[in-house]
Structures are given as C-alpha cells and as structure tokens.
Amino acid sequence: MKRVGFILLLVCVLGGTAVRAQQPPSRPWHELSPEEQQRAWENYQRYQQLPEHKQRSLGERYQRFQALPPQEQQRLRQNYETYRGFDPGQKQEFGQKYRRWKSQR
Amino acid sequence: MRCRRAQRWMVATVDGELAPRRRRMLEGHVASCPECRRDLAGTGAVLERVAGLGMECEVPSRLEQATLRRIRLLAAAEEERTAARGWWTVFRAPALALATAAVAIAAVVLTRGAGDRLPVASRVVGQRRVAAEALARERSRMVASREGGAVRVAKNIPAEPPPELAAAPELFMELPILRNLEKLEHFEAIRTTTLDDGGAQSNG
C-alpha cells in the first residue's frame, strides 16, 4: 500500500514538473522587443496610478495567469484580441452581458 | 444626483464600465435632466467616432504634453466660468465640443513641422484620437482615475526600467488581460448571455 502511495506521489510530482516545463519561462526585460518594452512601460505607468489593493490583486491574478497551461493563456489572449476588436456598441453590449452573467452566477 | 457627478460618470458608462448601481443613478438623472442627456449623447458620439477610427500613429511626447496642458487649461477655464455664472451650464455641451475641436486643430498645427513624413490623414486621425482620449482622461480626472483607453502614444522608455518593471516585465505586458481576467476566462459564456429582458435589468 505504501509503495502504491509513493508511486502516485511520484507521478504527481513528475507530472507537475512536466506541465511547468511546457510553460515558457518569464523573459527578462532586455529580451523583450522594443514594442513589448513600450507596451510594458505604458502599462507600468497605468499600474502605478492604481490603488495598492488593486495592484496586489493584479499581482495575484498574474500568478494565477502564469499557472495556467499555455493553451489556456493563448485562449485568453485571443479572447482579449476579439474584445479589442469590438466597436463601442459591442463593448457596451458585452459589458451589459457581463453584468447580467455575473448577477446570474 | 448633481449634474457635475453625472458628467464624471459619462465616459465610464459609455464604455460600459460603470458599476450597475452608479449606472442606474446616472440613468435616473439623465432621464430627468435634458442638459445631461444632451451631454451624454455628445460624449457617446465623440467616443464612438474616435473609437471607430481605425488608424493609429505615434505622436511626439512633447505634443502629447502640450495637448494635455491645453486641455487642462480649457477645462480649468470652463470650470471657473461655470462656478462664476450658473447660467453658463446651458452651454456646457457646446463648450466641450469647441474645446475638443480646438485641441484637435492645435494638435494638427503643432505637429505640422514634426511629422511631415506621415500622411496627413494619419496624422489628423492619430491626433484626434489622442485629443479625444485626453479629453476623456481629463473629464474623469476630476473624480477618479479610470482605466486608460486603447490609445497608443509615444512614451519615453527609461534606459533602466524601475525594479518592479524589471522584475516582472511580462506582468505589465499582460496587464490588460489581467485586469479583465474574469471576462476573458468566461468570454463565450458572457457573449452568449441574452439580454432579452435587458430593460428590466437596467432598471432593476
């Protein structure tokens, strides 16, 4: 019984390592392209204007986002691009739907 | 609700970002105040037209600063006039439209020398976008900071990034996604949510 437990634990550890290994490592600043640096810098300035609790919340979300499998991260990026492509009317409608959806949860 | 507060919430509501309770308050006020109703329609129209412009171009940071300074001056002057003469509020919407137009024209004139290589249309569109965004920013600045729009402006990146940025640059690259994480995670479910009884919802 102990042996089975040990094997299961080993499988979990190795499995977790394999999943983490699939995720691209976080790139340092100097490896970002100029466009990426520009984007990060602009967003950093916006971030600085946020209250502390929101900054903390974003840090937590970042941890959560990083823990997601690459396919899921890609899906979220695609969804964001779709959202960005919305015209103002569509954005407004999406906002209404979001509030409705949230109230129904 | 007073007109001043309604004015501050208009941009957020047009973007669909106002909290439901505030939205209801604003709707209630707008329903009974023709001036704010007109102003809201104007704000919506300006932002819609600006967002509808498909082109973006970088503008020199000096131009951005000059534009923002000018908008602040115009806004301060308008606020002063409003405080001094109550009847002036009747002309608030036209004044705002004039301020927007003035800033757009100023932006075109200011960059005529700086960006001659860009097509005129690109320049005008880009500057209008910046001007309208700055206008929206200025209005919201009076109350609270709100999330920045999709405007792209040139910003000087420091040679050495601040430690926080250097430590996790990707956090900041992904910031818009992180801010909307819940919406993006449940994107399809939200999109397929129906608003059949939307009227009841917006009033309830």
Q: B200 lies in a domain?
A: no
Q: B201 lies in a domain?
A: no
The 8-class DSSP code of residue A51 comes to: -
Q: B128 lies in a domain?
A: yes
The 8-class DSSP code of residue A47 comes to: H
Least confident of B94-98, B175-179, B187-191: B94-98
pLDDT digits (tens, 9 = 90+) for B96-106: 666 777 777 76
Residue A80 to residue B148, Cβ atoms within 8 A: no
pLDDT digits (tens, 9 = 90+) for A27-84: 888 888 888 888 899 899 989 998 999 999 999 999 999 999 999 999 999 999 999 9
Higher pLDDT, B130 or A29: A29
Note the ipTM here: 0.73
Same domain, B89 and B189: no
Structural domain containing residue B127: 3-156
In the prediction, which pLDDT does B23 show? 86
Alpha carbon distance B114, B121 (integer Å): 15
Q: B199 lies in a domain?
A: no
Residue A104 to residue B193, Cβ atoms within 8 A: yes
Residue B172 to residue A36, Cβ atoms within 8 A: no
Same domain, B74 and B141: yes
Q: Which of B174, B194, B195, B203 should be substituted to probe chain A, the one whose Cβ sees the most A Cβ atoms within 10 Å? A: B174
Same domain, B92 and B175: no
CA distances from B145 to B9, B15, B148, B169, B202 (A): 11, 14, 9, 23, 25
The closest of B185, B7, B13 to B96, measured between CA atoms, is: B7
Of residues A26, A96, A101, nearest to B186 (C-beta): A101
Residue B165 to residue A44, Cβ atoms within 8 A: yes
pLDDT digits (tens, 9 = 90+) for B24-75: 888 888 888 888 888 888 877 776 666 666 555 666 777 777 787 778 788 7
In the prediction, which pLDDT does A35 show? 87
